[in-house]
Structure 1
């Protein structure tokens, strides 16, 4: 397999570079096919490095023009240059300056890493190892330097931006060119370097910091799209204020700029003072953005801004520490969004995302710890485990230490490590030292792969008024085959009494119990609560206080009780999900055996009472009325999964619930109608979500006709309602579906971000024939294999969010995606590798599908000249 030839990078081999770069001066002469880059590096040998150690700089496909040392050209024998490495054989003993000139072809850079030209705009993406595609460098996160960047370009490129503050700008005498010089006074690693040049429009604003400084804010985009940046600017200002209030973090430069570009591999990038965004996370308005788009813009704007302190001012020492900046910053953006919107609803949404993306990763061949110890290709470790599980670890840390202890640890972390490249150990030590807490066991969360399973049994003795919980934690075997040790699992809980109120207890023995949290630190534990006056129903893992799988002996009656009475919103939702999940597992088994599923009517009755309860947040009710996804059911079954049986069981349960609840939900939605005109605020978004949940139940019950759905589409006053109607029409195969699709395409033909949604709706139609539809759509004029957003909208949506279509029994879905990966890989390996992760759970499929998926993977792996990115994913998927 090609991946075998790729060297393995190991955490244990980390050592500092022999040389430190103190300052970097960059000069860019921008041209579409021949950009000239001059870098001047002020270097010095580290004291611990051997005298005369060679200086070895990273490159990636570079064309070298010249090398000079302290102003004098180097003799050809003094260095060795290849496209991927520059070695200076005998650098001076004292500080020295190295000047390197390289030439780039931005227009041909389809990988969208390094410096590239797309739609007339020069853009950079340097994380993780893109800077080495610009110039030779010590391209690693622990080399921090102060950058000054001069950009020169034709005057038609009206905007020239880089990191830091602009210190000079003007025309180049005697030419039709101009220049700008930017200086960033804060040392940063090369992955945070950024440059943008092009004819861009902007909206401007200012922000007054808590110390009274005025910061100039700018959001740049294609001309004509400025008004769609207004919400992003509002979200930015709210993020800046929130970070001051919650974490005491003030912005440090005189300017903060955001640029929205249409071709970008990632969601956004936190480059110091110059965030570059995929435009889908900036451009939004009622006509072209949904409620989910508004929430996404708010979250991603906040995430990248929060990186200014958790990622930029303090960066990671090496890429093994990636979750130090990403997990922590995801936690911070989740907290921000919770404060801006509904905290319970946001928490449920985050848990749904975790279970859909991270839990399958943990359960498959691509499982890895949040802080891995080895990798072949770092781009493949920008994963749900690093981001979402990393955030859950930070949340658990806050639960363990309490609000005050967590803030004290964060303050000490900022104080100790500002301007440094830190490690997970540095991070945890700040909290341990600030609170006097031993976190050595807690640190296992960063080192162990897999999702722990916590099993719970309970018993109540009315005579002694004792309630007992018996707990066991088990950690699964993962591809690394390393031995596992018990985690420190904080389990938030309550003992819900017959009246729906939490019962008090005199004391608890057998494990640490404090402030509503049970701390499970051993493989098994028995906790005895004394002085419990009535039989309680235990409400466990409130707020999803730990990223574990909970297996309890609660009965259906217990869970029905919690749906109606648990004071914790998450636990009420979880009780409903647990009943539905068990019903879907059983229903899928019955269908696979040739029978018909049957469901407990009490579940629908409980959902009906919940739907009718106007004291509950409409957004919460919408989530509670949504059944677990088919991927959730597959994960629960675990092996020999038949996606068609799961889909049939879910359709049947949806219909059964719909017949009992649709009218109630429709009436509730009518009582909670959103305000007009459209507003994206959380309250109105929740009311629309409840409306759409009612539509879903009604159509599943056969109570909405094709004409009804066409009318809902045509009378929709915003994209959120319009898209919901189109999705239901297509996914339920209504006669109006083709007409609605055609009308949607005609209406939004000139807006690529909305057309992406048109592709996604079709890619996720749950039918075997969808593979053929997707293949045809790859030839549609609006589709481009070179545009990441199009690939994600069509191909990744099909492969990752359509279990029926992708897992077609004859293997056609697998073959289609394997062919697409092979086609994309030569131009954009990062996008191809992300698409390849869709195969991560193939081993749990039933034998016929499993064999077909493996055959497609093996055939793909045998193709010549696969990128390192794709080879790494294929190797781990096939061998894991």
Structure 2
């Protein structure tokens, strides 16, 4: 476990290394308990290096074996070594010299899942962000670009597959039943992109021919017997490679591209050059074991890691402050890929929901930070929704501001200018400025300033003047370490919708720059006048979710209902209905708190049925439109003095009202969507299942009877329908015989498949009410559960703490106490996993006083141990600050 030094890293302290490492040769003599790593480093003095600077190489819990300098064994007095650092105080004066270091590792006992570890007998590495220093002493920073040659030696019986980055250049047999493979990556890369995998794995092979005619050998390596479940991932990979050529003009550059799926992994996947390593949940899928959401995630994450080949690998980040340069940009690219593969509107709504569920709370709480942070204590804790999702939104806004053509030119210039470079956000923005001739200095604040901007908007129509006036006021709330905010450049897409549902085109506009349906909000206040508007329009705002902002709008409910039925922009149309649902739920919450029965507007309840039956809308969109805001989303809108139980009661009441009012419509649609034909994971088929399963939830509420869900569970021919039915049974009919039978049947059928069993844990972890805590505690003792496996932990503990608002936030505080104890237990094995779990309490100050006090006690209990890891202490102390 890495010791917490309390050191703060600041962007202004960056300086180039005194030394560079042009080439790195690694030899791994693999052994489960005593792997020996020999690192031969070619060292050069950097340009402008400090005279007489010592050579300092980072380590992390390393066992040092030996050191040689220029081929000669180093005298013990000429260097200092600890598990954390190797320092050569007086390195050779020559411009170039070599260092050879031997270290000894214990992969089997490495439970941190960083550096070199074993997963089900397979040797595997994870080096981002600072895991390479757990393998050998190195200048372990993103701007240290080196050409790697890697020799792997292992027992051929235990590890017939030997993989690393780049192309395979040599392989053969050794004495004693061992064999070797040598891999060479011709492209200089940082140490965080190094990868090694060795083990007994099956492989699904294929081939891709690039646009220039080169043949690339593709391989997806999985546990034996699971090759067929990797077929969809292979298809997604080939589609990703073709899409990147067609849309961005980027072709793959090696002869081989390998993916390896492992069951113990802290992250979703890792983009190591030519050798992507994946959590197996994002590779393995078929209709019997994976849901439509699983298929969509596999498609997106396969694409994301492949797209990193250029935006992350060929161009990497200068330092970890620039993390969003590779992650935010690549998330934008995978979002665009998925939008082209599926429904653009449905994909965009899913992105908005994710942003609001994860990034908005981050921006509004103690863990708020800019898309590009200026300081950090533990970089592991900045793989956040702000860096990824908000980072993607910033790239999307650049395209909105510049237009598609100039954005394409800017991307092309960025790639050509910085290929083989370790770049910065300033480099990225400069490419777009130079390509477009536009000044992006104010826009750059999206990278440098934390917080979610708010636009307060009011409007009035002047019939006599045929003029529509819109007043816009911009504000950015204070965040930790940033009390004063500068004004942002916000691209606000809008429409003026006439009474016929068509957009009104004004004859002229004054008061702000308006381009292609976008108002460029740059000042604190704008008074925008639209001339030639004869009749009062309904204002449609933030179309396509053009900016990641909140809106405070003077808008009548009937106008929102009109937009929900008529807006030509499907994202804005969904937003109008969601806003109405949210407002109704907040009103219901207040009625519950006042000990009144919640009541809801009949027209809203009726509109839900109309949208469900609207066949001009694709089924996936209708499913999203019918899905009420999550309890956490409602809590975020309320903002303070949150009582999760009252929100739950209000949400259940609105669900029941919609269900009862539209029972017959929903029943007819449910029957119509019954499709027992051959399963396909395509977007249209998945959308039909999504709508049918949404209707199942409403019909089960209307009838207050588990029969329909139980029948679907028993008759389901795919995991999507089976898992949806199980969720309805467990959540709405907990304790019922039909529910017990379904849970037992599911466990018996899939108990030997960990990925499917995770769905069983997740379903029970989200059972609403106080009883969920005892259920979760009992599941921690289940034979299939292990605190050592991140997937199991996230499925049960992570799901319970982030999604179960009534169970986790029990009024007696027992949910928090259990959580604190569990996080501390996990931290002993895996500090990164524990730290990410701890973020579940980031919004504790918004709770009502009793829960708030109990949550604070839990956070203090987590912070109490003196030997707490840097990962966990950083999160907890910032959350408490």
Q: Same fold, TM exceeding 0.5?
A: yes
Q: Could you tell which deviates more after superposition, 26-35 or 514-523?
A: 514-523
Q: Does the 8 Å CA contact 1:39/1:101 hold for their aligned counterparts?
A: yes
Q: Tell me if 1:8 matches 2:5.
A: no
Distance 2:611 2:864 in 1: 54
Distance 1:143 1:519 in 2: 40
Look up the match of 2:768: 766
Distance 1:812 1:473 in 2: 42
Indicate which of 821, 824, 837 corresponds to 2:823: 821
Deviation at 1:554, TM superposition (A): 1.0
Distance 1:7 1:453 in 2: 34
Deviation at 1:704, TM superposition (A): 5.3
Deviation at 1:5, TM superposition (A): 4.6
Distance 2:269 2:694 in 1: 31
The DSSP-based 3-state class of the residue aligned with 1:534 is: coil
Deviation at 1:3, TM superposition (A): 9.9
Look up the match of 1:497: 498
Distance 2:319 2:5 in 1: 23
Q: Does the 8 Å CA contact 1:143/1:188 hold for their aligned counterparts?
A: yes
Look up the match of 1:78: 78
Look up the match of 1:755: 757
Report how many aligned residue pairs link the two structures.
Answer: 876
Distance 1:671 1:311 in 2: 46
Q: Tell me if 1:385 matches 2:414.
A: no
Within a 5 Å distance, the mapping from 1:419-818 to structure 2 comes to: 419-674=420-675, 676-701=677-702, 703=703, 705-734=705-734, 735=736, 736-818=738-820
Deviation at 1:674, TM superposition (A): 4.3
Deviation at 1:391, TM superposition (A): 0.3
Q: Return closer, same or farther for 1:122/1:772 CA change in 2, 3 Å cut-off.
A: same
Q: Does the 8 Å CA contact 1:788/1:831 hold for their aligned counterparts?
A: yes
Q: Does the 8 Å CA contact 1:592/1:645 hold for their aligned counterparts?
A: yes
Distance 1:160 1:662 in 2: 59
The DSSP-based 3-state class of the residue aligned with 1:866 is: coil
Q: Tell me if 1:353 matches 2:325.
A: no
Gaps of 5+ in 1: none
Q: Does the 8 Å CA contact 2:317/2:423 hold for their aligned counterparts?
A: yes
Distance 1:709 1:415 in 2: 56
Q: Tell me if 1:64 matches 2:92.
A: no
Look up the match of 1:107: 108
Look up the match of 1:838: 840
Look up the match of 2:217: 216
Deviation at 1:193, TM superposition (A): 0.1
Distance 1:521 1:665 in 2: 46
The DSSP-based 3-state class of the residue aligned with 1:101 is: strand
Q: Does the 8 Å CA contact 2:39/2:100 hold for their aligned counterparts?
A: yes
Distance 2:603 2:696 in 1: 22
Q: Does the 8 Å CA contact 2:371/2:390 hold for their aligned counterparts?
A: yes
Distance 1:128 1:664 in 2: 52
TM-score normalised to the size of structure 1? 0.99
Deviation at 1:733, TM superposition (A): 2.2
Distance 2:387 2:614 in 1: 38
Distance 2:242 2:62 in 1: 42
The DSSP-based 3-state class of the residue aligned with 1:857 is: helix
The DSSP-based 3-state class of the residue aligned with 2:662 is: helix
Distance 2:696 2:708 in 1: 10
Deviation at 1:673, TM superposition (A): 4.3
Distance 1:427 1:90 in 2: 38
Q: Return closer, same or farther for 1:4/1:101 CA change in 2, 3 Å cut-off.
A: closer
Look up the match of 2:239: 238
Q: Does the 8 Å CA contact 1:618/1:672 hold for their aligned counterparts?
A: no
Distance 2:560 2:16 in 1: 55
Look up the match of 1:374: 375
Distance 1:448 1:50 in 2: 34
Deviation at 1:709, TM superposition (A): 2.0
Distance 2:297 2:661 in 1: 33
The DSSP-based 3-state class of the residue aligned with 1:525 is: strand
Q: Tell me if 1:871 matches 2:881.
A: no
Q: Does the 8 Å CA contact 2:813/2:854 hold for their aligned counterparts?
A: yes
Deviation at 1:865, TM superposition (A): 1.3
Distance 1:24 1:666 in 2: 65
Deviation at 1:750, TM superposition (A): 1.1
Q: Does the 8 Å CA contact 2:696/2:708 hold for their aligned counterparts?
A: no
Structure 1 residues 236-265: Cα deviation after superposition (integer angstroms, max 9, x where no partner): 000000000110000000000000000000
Deviation at 1:535, TM superposition (A): 1.1
TM-score normalised to the size of structure 2? 0.99
Q: Return closer, same or farther for 1:552/1:214 CA change in 2, 3 Å cut-off.
A: same
Structure 1 residues 190-211: Cα deviation after superposition (integer angstroms, max 9, x where no partner): 0000000000000100001011
Distance 1:697 1:724 in 2: 12
Distance 1:778 1:4 in 2: 29
Look up the match of 1:416: 417
Distance 1:344 1:608 in 2: 20
Q: Tell me if 1:248 matches 2:249.
A: yes
Distance 2:636 2:456 in 1: 17
Deviation at 1:663, TM superposition (A): 2.4
Deviation at 1:708, TM superposition (A): 2.7
Distance 1:559 1:415 in 2: 46
Distance 2:119 2:283 in 1: 18
Distance 1:366 1:651 in 2: 31
Deviation at 1:669, TM superposition (A): 3.9
Structure 1 residues 77-103: Cα deviation after superposition (integer angstroms, max 9, x where no partner): 111000000001111222001000000
Deviation at 1:665, TM superposition (A): 2.8
Look up the match of 1:50: 50
Structure 1 residues 711-732: Cα deviation after superposition (integer angstroms, max 9, x where no partner): 1110111100000000000100
Q: Tell me if 1:167 matches 2:169.
A: yes
Q: Does the 8 Å CA contact 1:3/1:871 hold for their aligned counterparts?
A: no
Q: Does the 8 Å CA contact 2:172/2:180 hold for their aligned counterparts?
A: yes
Deviation at 1:604, TM superposition (A): 1.3
Look up the match of 1:126: 127
Structure 1 residues 756-802: Cα deviation after superposition (integer angstroms, max 9, x where no partner): 00000000111111111111111110000000000000000000011
Q: Does the 8 Å CA contact 1:52/1:92 hold for their aligned counterparts?
A: no
Q: Return closer, same or farther for 1:563/1:59 CA change in 2, 3 Å cut-off.
A: same
Within a 5 Å distance, the mapping from 1:156-195 to structure 2 comes to: 156=157, 157-172=159-174, 174-195=175-196
Deviation at 1:118, TM superposition (A): 1.7
Gaps of 5+ in 2: none
Q: Could you tell which deviates more after superposition, 74-83 or 46-55?
A: 46-55
Deviation at 1:666, TM superposition (A): 3.1
The DSSP-based 3-state class of the residue aligned with 1:218 is: strand
Structure 1 residues 337-363: Cα deviation after superposition (integer angstroms, max 9, x where no partner): 000000000000110011001111111
Deviation at 1:672, TM superposition (A): 4.1
Distance 1:739 1:765 in 2: 16
- CA RMSD, 1 decimal: 1.1
Within a 5 Å distance, the mapping from 1:11-26 to structure 2 comes to: 11-26=11-26
